[in-house]
Amino acid sequence: MIRVAKNAGFCFGVRRATDTLEELIAKKTENDIICTLGKLIHNEQYSEYLKQNGVLEISGDDIDSYFEKSLSGKSVTVVIRTHGIVKELQEKLDGYAKKSPNFTVVDTTCPYVKKIHKIAEENSGEDEIFVVIGQREHPEVESIVSYVKNKCEVFPNEEELEKYLNSENSTKNTINMAAQTTQKLTMWEKCQKILKNYCTNAKIFDTICSVTEKRQEEAASLAKDSDVVFVIGGRDSSNTSKLAQVCGAFCEKTFWIQTKDNIQLDKISGAKNISITAGASTPDSLIMEVKETMSEIMMEENFAELFAKECENGAKVKIYTGATVTGTVMSISENEIRLDLGTKVTGVITRDQITDSNDEKLSDLFKIGDAVDASVVSVSDRDGIAILSKKKIDGVKNWQKIVDYQASGETVNAKITEATKGGVVANIDGVRVFIPASMTGIAKDGDMSVLVGTTQEVKVVEIKDDKKKAIASIKAILREKKKAEKEAFWASLEEGMVFEGTVKSLTSYGAFVDLGAVDGLVHITELSWKRLKHPSEVVNVGDKLTVFVKALDKENGKISLGHKTDDQNPWNIFKSQYAEGDVAEVKIVGITTFGAFAQIVPGVDGLIHISQIADKKIDSVANVLKVGDVLAAKIVGIDEENHKVSLSSRALLENEEAEEAAEEVAEAAEEAVAEEAVAEEAAE
């Protein structure tokens, strides 16, 4: 008997999200860009369906570039996933939607999650601690935490909650507690009991989705009366994980699968009562495929059981075309081996049905007495010969390995054998596997032939069992390695660290710099000591830039970088070269009604007040000076606090007049001395 849970598959929130997105896809034009912030739902098959229909999966870091696309005329629609997003990003999206008529935000956040956002915001005041029971790294929990105004704690289970309440970190402040919507019901009940024992004034909000409760209760009921339970859903689906735990507690043979291809026949043989349930992100089509597959398998097993009983009763077993047989090697020649099949028919396997290699000797591959599995190609009762194929059996076994690789997510080695128009072909355990161009790790329109002949680490990401075709990805491995590098980078990152980065992109508010594993932002005010209208005034994409870490936000994955340093500060340069009373050669850079601004050093200007331009009263600065004039001026005042400098040309003119007067007095004195000397000489 096969039973499918009534509450299996899409919940209300997920169905609403998928219906909304599919309506957008149906209306999509060439000018439209449809994006989802992260995965709309946790289901790889559905994500692939969206990808094939032109829906892009982006992150928060991509929002700015897509906003700019909308300003250039593209129609951009950003769909917010069912789990919701952090408050800061929500506000940013709403702001962009107001600024650009081509930028549309479609919010498909589950109403249950929206409710928790409101609860978190209203119950996290100054004297309150908001506790969330869930997985901190889960998108839903991340979005909830962003709405908390004051202190927030996240615990994955009742043990961690109790540990916190027993620690010194726990305070006498009011503790308010809510749960991730997909949290396991029994765990949530334990957490409530623990909190009530510690805090009499605690507020507890029942935020587990009612559909989740019904789904878990029904799954537990089915599991208690089942030989085998299949839980269908993506590996990163939280509610599917909880379902698997619930069923596993009552049925030892509980299997968490993603598609019908993950069913392992050897582990369910003999099962009479089979139940099927599925997470909230599992499409109905996948559930029906599993049900139909299991129905076929059970019919085959019933036939095999009847057939076995007939054999026990003395019925003659016939070797027929297509049957799988096991024989014992009784002779080996250069071009074939012969098997004893336990009947009057002798099995024969020719070289070409054993191996493709001409160099291998059959005597090296087999020994007399070896058991060999083979498929019957043809039977001649008259000759007493059955022509067999070992290749077919090996092909089935090797294909099963590929299926197992996909189910386990195991990394395997693949020999790249050829490049095609759409990607490359690889050999994994003798099976031909296709790697699409987008999954090779080669840049778009790049030369994929460079991979031919190499061995690459890959993951089998898709199985088309009906066509015996498999798709693998090199990029998935590269992505995992990049993720590991990113995590290691963040672990070692500290404020003040200096990097030689590459400018990756420019925006109106700064430059994003590639530090190797991650990008950081140099705000426009940190690029130069002078005021900039746009970062392109000082840097371009591709430029090498020395930067240092100013601030880190590890929780949100953001790095604030600095570039300008004190030794580049124009004011410090000015102070190192000049002091009050010094004379400097300055260049007029601006004219006003009250004076002229003159550049002393690049980045530092001084004011020559109208009264300090000449040694006489002037009616207009423009009548005496113009932009571009270079002249000498005396530094008569330095305002350290406000970084202002006062200059005077008049002071230098007054000095010249004083010097001329002193020279005249000196000349007159010399003349008087000379006249006196002449007079004395005449008197003698």
Give the other-Cβ count within 10 Å of 137's Cβ: 9
Number of H helices, E strands in the chain: 17, 32
Alpha helix segments (H runs only) across 462-564: 475-492, 524-527
204: its two tokens: 């507890």
Burial of 270 (0-12, 13-18, 19+ CB in 10 A): exposed
CA 292 to chain CA centroid, nearest Å: 36
Tokens of 169: 């970190």
Beta strand ranges found along 70-219 (DSSP E): 75-80, 103-107, 128-133, 151-155, 174-179, 203-204
The 3 state secondary structure assigned to 370-410 is CEEEEEEEEEECCCCEEEEEHHHHHHHHHHHHHHHHHHHCC
| First vs last C-alpha separation in the chain | 154
Q: How far apart are CA 415 and CA 404, in angstroms?
A: 19
Instruction: Reduce the DSSP state of residue 337 to 3 states and report it.
Output: strand
Is residue 140 annotated as a catalytic residue, yes or no? Answer: yes
Nearest to 451 by CA among 415, 427, 483, 482: 415
Q: Which two tokens stand for residue 198?
A: 């510690």
The dihedral built from the CA positions of residue 90, 93, 99 and 101, taken in this order, carries a sign that is negative
Counting every residue, how long is the chain? 684
Q: Copy the structure tokens of residue 304.
A: 């095999």
- Which residue, 479, 467, 472, is CA-closest to 451? 472
- Are the C-beta atoms of 268 and 229 separated by less than 8 Å? no
Distance, CA of 552 to CA of 476 (rounded, Å): 28
Residue 537 has φ and ψ, to the nearest 5°, of: -70, -25
Show Cβ contacts of residue 571 under 8 Å, excluding neighbours closer than 6 positions: 603, 604, 643
Angle, in degrees to the nearest 10, between helices 158-166 and 185-198: 10
CA gap 144, 128 in Å, rounded:
16
Neighbours of 392 (CB within 10 A): 17
Q: If phi over 0 gives left and psi between -120 and 50 gives alpha, with beta otherwise, what is residue 73? A: left
Tokens of 132: 């969330």
> Could you say which of 88, 121, 126, 140 is catalytic?
140
Rounded to an integer, what distance in angstroms lies between the CA atom of residue 602 and that of residue 572? 11
**How far is Cα 436 from Cα 420, in angstroms, rounded to an integer?**
9
What's the gap between Cα 63 and its chain centre? 13
Q: Identity (one letter) of the amino acid at 20?
A: T
Buried b (16+ CB within 10 A) or exposed e, 639-656: eeeeeebbbbbbbebeee
Q: Say which amino acid occupies 192.
A: Q
Q: What is the dihedral of CA 396, 402, 406, 412, to 10 degrees?
A: 160
- E strand or H helix that includes residue 190: helix 185-198
Using the 8-state DSSP alphabet, how is residue 443 labeled? P
Coil, helix or strand at residue 522: strand
Distance of CA 213 to the CA centre of its chain: 31
How many Cβ atoms sit within 10 Å of the Cβ of residue 556? Answer: 12
Active site residues: 140
